[in-house]
Amino acid sequence: MNFAARVPTVEVTDLKDGDFLLDVREDDEWQAGHAQGALHIPISEFVARYGELTEAAPQDGRVHVICRSGGRSAQVTMYLVQQGIDAVNVDGGMQVWQAAGREVITDDGQPGFVL
């Protein structure tokens, strides 16, 4: 069976303003540009910083996991699902996010880009 076929997935166009977004890209990618309001926990630090997610995520809400193209976020999504968290992978990641015309900003609110 294909690994990707088992990962719960949503399209960028399905996301609404206010949906909880977890960005698992590394620091340099985040600094180049990210979605406003996303929680940033790099995949390389995810297990050690897992508590930050459980504190920030909505109690009964869904966690939308995103990376550059969808590979790393699929891994984190599967981990979260195994922990009993309602999590979905954002298909195509930040590349599709930006291509769909969604805002990409830097930490100081300036226009950013997907690295």
Question: Cα–Cα distance between 61 and 86 in angstroms, integer?
Answer: 7
Radius of gyration of the chain (CA): 13
> Which of the 8 DSSP states describes residue 64?
E
Instruction: With beta carbons less than 8 A apart as the criterion, state whether 70 and 89 touch.
Output: yes
Q: Among all residues, which ones are annotated catalytic? A: 67
